[in-house]
Structure 1
Amino acid sequence: MMTSESFEQALNETADRITVALDALLPRAEGPEARLNSAMRYAALGPGKRLRPFLVMECGNLVGADERGLLRVGCALECIHAYSLIHDDLPCMDDDDLRRGRPTVHKAYDEATAVLAGDALQSSAYEILAHPDTHQRGSVRARLVEKLARASGAGGMVGGQMIDIIGESETLDISVVTRMHRMKTGALINFAAEAVAALKDIDDHIRRSLEGFAHDLGLAYQITDDLLDATGNADEAGKAVGKDAGQGKATFVTTLGIEGAKDRSRHLAAQAKEHLDPFGERANLLKKAVDFILTRQA
Structure 2
Amino acid sequence: MTWVFFQSLISGILAGGVYALFGVGITIIFGVMKMVDFSACTQLVWGMYFTWIFYSVTGLNCYLAIPFVVVCMGMLAWVVFKLIVRPLLGSDDTSFILVTLGLSYFLQNFAEFVFSADPKSVPSSIKTASFFIGEYSIGLPRLIAFFVMVLLVFAVYMLLNKTTLGRAMRATAEKPEVAQMLGINTSKTFTIAFMIGVIFAGVSGLLITPLYYVTPTAGSMFRTTAYIAVIIGGLGDIKGALVGGITVGVIEALVTGMISNDLGPVGVGLALLLVLYLRPQGFFGKGERRA
TM-score normalised to structure 1 length: 0.30
TM-score normalised to structure 2 length: 0.30
